[in-house]
Structure 1
Amino acid sequence: MADVFRLFYGDAPIAHGEFSGGPSKEILAVVHRAELRDGLWKDTFSGAGKTLSFSSAPQGRTEVEKKRLRKRQVKLGLYALLREITGMRPAWGSLTGIRPSRLLYEQMAEGKSPEEAAKALVDVFDVSPSRAALLVELETMQRGLRVLPEGTFNLYIGIPFCKTRCLYCSFSSGEIGDGHLVEPYVEALLREMDLCRAMIEEKGMRLRAGYVGGGTPTAIPRPALEKILDRAKKAFPGAVEWTVEAGRPDTIDRDMLQMLRDSGVTRISVNPQTFSDATLRRIGRAHTGEDTVRAFTLARKIGFDDINMDLIAALPGEDLPIFSQTLDRVLDLAPDSVTVHTLAVKRSSKLHEQLHLQGGGQHGLPPEGEALRMTESARSRLSQSGYFPYYLYRQKYMAGNLENVGYARQGKACLYNIGNMEETASVLALGAGAITKWLFDRELRIERAPNVKNIEAYIARVEEMARRKRKLLFSEESGEEASR
């Protein structure tokens, strides 16, 4: 239920239990009463002088499904009360999950058209018509790409090093420093690759799409990255797509790009996040907007015809005009895909730490509603320029409770991103902090095998990480082992 409260009250403290105090402007006390009577659930929610009551029939066939759908009923009731109290209507309505598209496909599985399914999300979950329409556009782009051919999997390789750590970053990556961990990390990664190659051959599976992320893979020396790519292509041949996150323009030069091209990489990401140099300094990125232009132009000259660019809406110190200027520069460059992220203030980020130390001060964050205006502007302008949404996901603590959306030109949607975000593809994940996710279709379930996040621990325990994957891939009763 805490996620529903956060839709309206952000990161305010939440407590569950008995409340004996009287009315208070500082404390919102919500009471939920429920009883099953005459075959119906009777739910009453009260708070801030308002009371709402609902009746609903129990749903679901299995016990797990019944529990899940009952929780959904209660969340919808709580959402209705909080909307009544605050007068707010979040863009995604009562939805708090990472993948809103899952509900669209759930409705379509019942025989509804995409448009009918979207209307159900508006009617049942109070999703805004704008976001429901976004899901319909996304479904159109995903047709024929969402589900992998039988016997295939996707591969993720994590390079957890960056030149500097961005203010908003919460990933399990480390600043590269003097680079003393790079060589032992690469050797451990190659060892894990060799061990997993044997498993995949034993399973008789083939790779569809590979993705090298981080961190910033291009932050490590070129020969080290070349060694990783060479081993990966030999261990897991046949992929129709290979992506490398060349995200930081200050890590890209002609030799690096030529090596990526010669290694068979088909798609790269060159990520400005913003073209405002003042913002780049503020968020801890050691490059300028012009560095991004230089890197992108060089990549085009070398022959890359599938380049993504990432932007972030609602960065500290930015407003709609600044964001629009960034969008102008991106559209001038005409990449093949554009990913528009909404700033998420993660608990493990430096930004969250600074906000906390300032006693809740906003650190120059845009005002309420600005993130929505930015993302709506991006969607409109990208659509006018021939880009369409092809994958979408949400995170906790996002500005405006919004979303991250990948837009692409026709024929340029990233296969790895679709399979990973929709969880319609098994993903073999290598490296520190990487999480393997395997689909078991007969049971309609996903099992996970996480690698430890700490780089030194990963190096020391790489054989154990491979054993976790073997247990997952070959045991009938696989279970997730704790990442510690």
Structure 2
Amino acid sequence: MLNGYHYKGPLPLGSVVAHNCGAAGLFSDAVNPDVVLDAVENGDSYVLSVRVDGIERTFTGAITSLGRRHIGQALLVFLRELQGLPSYNEWGTMVGVRPTKLLHKYIDTYGSVEEATRHIRDEFSVSMEKLDTLAAIGVYQRPFVEVGDDRDVSIYCGIPFCETRCVYCSFPYGLYQQYPQQDLFINTLMMDIDDMVSLCESYGLNVKTLYMGGGTPTILDNDSFDTVLRGLSRIVPKGREFTVEAGRPDSVTKEKIKSMESCHVNRISINPQTMDDIILRAIGRGHTVQDIDDMYRYVRKHTKLAVNMDFIAGLPHQQMAHMVDNMDYICQNLPENVTIHTLAIKRGSPLYDLQMQEHVPNESLVRDMVQYAKERLEVAGYVPYYLYRQQYMKGQLENIGYTLPGKACEYNINIMEERQTIMSIGPGSSSKWMRAPLFRQKKQHMPKDVDVYNATIQSLLNKRHALCDSFWEVQ
């Protein structure tokens, strides 16, 4: 299989090349690339030369967005064929992480879901099955993404630590137990939270949803977790959607669940990833299947929290029987939401760095797992309500969130479709200010490095205030 590529040429085409090479499973590598791509502008056309193992191909296209797209589509087909993969898959030549965002743009343009999906079919050769899924999600989401007041916002709070590192993960800052300045981090985070309370009051913001994610937010000790939750509860009005990612049952205590209830949290995400103990150990999780079940039953018995559960298709050593077990558990217990992720192999993850890919099932099997999960969930009464894709996903597939009717997590829709302002708290998080009809963004990215976040918090908050002033035109 091909692994690395190196591109030299015009920057606008380079972005398209990067997306399509990523969709073919290639990472940027300037030192020892398998694929070398050189592009020039020749009159009103791009000329892209591609060299792989003595094979050379040339692709041309107009110096326009459409011309760049045509080159990218042809490049993707070529790279898949070179790796012995089918040149066509269900998503055709569509790359990018938010197909439903594009769908809503076309609904705005054409006035109907039918015309929007027809345009996507003609432009990207997407299969009818994927179009049907897109259409169903578009119809479900439409009431949530209709234009509202530009002071309707969602809030994200990120805790970028975990207790162990999953082999597929490239995100968390580090292991919380090894971080020497936990108290300083909590104090800085509370400054961030207090400032967000002030912003919401100053600008008259209507907080629709709040999501506390990670990393693993429940990695905080009981007292710190309670302190942070009480701060966040000042931001979101009681009764609004308030979600905590409680993904690892080994990090959740009864005291933390009581804190959630007392701070009017109404949704949690329990993320098994798999209901197989051998695979859990192989991927670096610190809990067992029994821990998952014990936590789920405790939450159901003692709280009214809505529950999401995440699973991944394509984990090392995974077989179809494992996905059958996963769906058996879901269909017997019926959590409000279920998300089926497709494994994405990311540079910087142990799965990539330790060369563990040989244990990952092939894309045909992963595709069968995703399809099986879809069929079982729909029979059980779930409907798809959000979808996104990532680079380096097995089989160029997708992640889909399913919900029982009327139980969708609104935040997940907002973060994917980018039609509502989402302001963020915590290191590694991103604020995006959005306004119809163009939904162009003002952005602020908090530093991923927690020490930098701690050291520069006041200047970060000053910048956030300035962006709010600019967006809401405060004189």
Same fold (TM over 0.5): yes
Q: Could you tell me how far apart the structure 1 residues matched to 2:354 and 2:258 are?
A: 40
State how far apart, in whole Å, the 1-side matches of 2:286 and 2:40 are: 51
Separation of aligned partners in 1, 2:146 and 2:238: 18
In the alignment, structure 1 segments of 5+ residues that lack a partner are: 16-25, 59-65, 356-360, 479-484
Residues in 2 aligned to 1:78 and 1:363: alpha-carbon distance in whole angstroms: 25
Q: What's the counterpart of residue 425 of structure 2?
A: 430
Q: Which residue of 2 aligns with 1:203?
A: 203
**Cα deviation, residue 242, structure 1:** 0.1
Quick one: distance in 2 between partners of 1:46 and 1:353?
Answer: 26
Equivalent pairs counted in the alignment come to 449
Could you tell me how far apart the structure 2 residues matched to 1:221 and 1:118 are? 48
Offset, 1:51: 8.2
Task: Tell me the CA shift for residue 265 of structure 1.
Answer: 0.4
- Within a 5 Å distance, the mapping from 1:378-457 to structure 2 comes to 378-441=373-436, 444-457=439-452
Aligned to 1:133: 132
Q: Deviations over 1:215-236 (max 9, x none)?
A: 1111111221111111122244
Instruction: Give the CA deviation at 1:31.
Output: 8.3
Q: 2-side partners of 1:476 and 1:262: how far apart?
A: 34
SS where residue 232 of structure 2 aligns? Answer: helix
1:156 counterpart letter in structure 2: Y
In the alignment, the residues of structure 2 paired with residue 178 and residue 32 of structure 1 have an alpha-carbon distance, to the nearest angstrom, of 49
Q: Does residue 326 of the first structure (1) align with residue 321 of the second (2)?
A: no
Cα 1:42–1:163, aligned 2, differ >3 Å: closer, same or farther?
A: closer
Where does residue 71 of structure 2 map in the other structure?
Answer: 74
Please report how far the alpha carbon of residue 181 of structure 1 lies from its aligned counterpart in structure 2 after TM superposition: 2.9
Moved more, 85-94 or 371-380: 85-94
Matching residue of 1:91: 90
Counterpart for residue 167 of structure 2: 167
CA distance in 2, matches of 1:259, 1:164: 24
The amino acid of 2:136's aligned partner reads E
2:454 is the counterpart of 1:459: yes
1:352 CA drift (Å): 1.1
For 2:258, the equivalent position in structure 1 comes to 258
After superposition, the C-alpha distances for 1:264-321 in whole angstroms (9 at most, x for unaligned) are 0010011110011000000111111111000000001112341000001100010111
Deviation at 1:420, TM superposition (A): 0.6
Residues 81 and 401 of structure 1: is their aligned pair in 2 closer, same or farther, counting only changes over 3 Å? closer
Q: Residues 107-144 of structure 1, C-alpha deviation per residue, up to 9 Å, x if partnerless?
A: 22232532332233222201122211110111122131
CA RMSD of aligned residues (A): 2.9
Whether the 8 Å contact between 1:46 and 1:81 is mirrored in structure 2 is no
- Relative to structure 1, is the Cα distance of residues 164 and 432 closer, same or farther in structure 2, using a 3 angstrom cutoff? same
TM-score normalised by the chain length of structure 1 = 0.85
The letter for the 2-side match of 1:390 is Y
**TM-score normalised per structure 2:** 0.86
Go from structure 1 to structure 2 and tell me whether the alpha carbon gap of 1:42 and 1:470 turns closer, same or farther (over 3 Å shift): closer
Match of 2:274 in 1: 274
| Alignment of structure 1 residues 328-347 onto 2, 5 Å | 328-347=328-347
Corresponding residue number in structure 2 for 1:4: 20
Stretch moving more, 468-477 or 241-250: 468-477
2:23–2:391: 8 Å Cα contact kept in structure 1? Answer: no
1:148 and 1:155 mapped to 2: Cα distance? 18
8 Å Cα contact 1:258-1:302 kept in structure 2: no
Report the equivalent of 1:371.
366
Quick check: 2:40–2:46 contact (8 Å CA) kept in 1? no
1:61 is matched with none
What residue in structure 2 maps to residue 121 of structure 1? Answer: 120
> Any conservation in 2 of the 1:272–1:309 contact (CA below 8 Å)?
yes
CA shift digits 1:230-275 (9 cap, x unpaired): 1122244356100000110111232221221121001001111001
Range with greater deviation from structure 2 (96-105 or 372-381): 96-105
Q: Quote the residue 1:241 is aligned against.
A: 241
Deviation readout 1:344-403 (Å, 9 max, x if unpaired): 111121111111xxxxx6341102311111111111111111111111111111111111
Which segment drifts farther, 424-433 or 437-446? 437-446
Q: What secondary structure does 2:71 align onto?
A: helix
1:472 Cα deviation (Å)? 1.7
- Separation in 2, partners of 1:227, 1:42: 56
SS at match of 2:144: coil
SS at match of 2:359: coil
Please tell me the residue identity of whatever aligns with 1:318: Q
Matched residues in 1 for 2:27 and 2:446: separation? 32
- Quote the Cα distance in structure 1 between the aligned partners of 2:156 and 2:241: 12
Matched residues in 2 for 1:173 and 1:397: separation?
Answer: 21
Q: Which residue of 2 aligns with 1:21?
A: none
> What residue in structure 2 maps to residue 63 of structure 1?
none
- Map Cα deviations across residues 172-192 of structure 1 (whole Å, 9 max, x no partner): 332121564332211111111
The AA in structure 1 aligned to 2:72 is K
Residue 62 of structure 1 is matched in structure 2 by none
**Aligned partner of 1:111: which letter?**
Y
**How many Å separate the matches in 2 of 1:199 and 1:7?**
40
Amino acid aligned to 2:461: A
Conserved 8 A contact 2:431-2:444: yes
1:299 corresponds to: 299
Paired with 2:269 and 2:254, the residues of 1 have a C-alpha distance of 15
Q: Residue deviations 1:403-459, cap 9 Å, x none?
A: 111110111111111001111111110011111111143664112101111112212
Alignment partners' CA distance in 1, 2:37 and 2:225? 55
Q: Secondary structure at the match of 2:272?
A: coil
Contact 2:267 2:305 in 1 (8 A): yes
Structure 1 residue 30: Cα displacement: 9.0
In the superposition, relative to structure 1, how do residues 320 and 68 fare at CA in structure 2: closer, same or farther (>3 Å)?
same
Tell me the amino acid that sits aligned with residue 421 of structure 1. Answer: M
Give the share of equivalent positions with the same residue, in percent: 33
Q: Which runs of 5+ in 2 are unaligned?
A: 1-16
Aligned-partner SS, 1:88: coil
Which stretch of the first structure deviates more once superposed, 250-259 or 128-137?
250-259
Q: Is the 8 A contact 2:210 2:411 kept in 1?
A: yes
Gap change, CA 1:14 and 1:453, over 3 Å in 2: closer
Alpha carbons 2:23, 2:393 under 8 Å: kept: no
The whole-number CA distance in structure 2 between the counterparts of 1:69 and 1:31 is 16
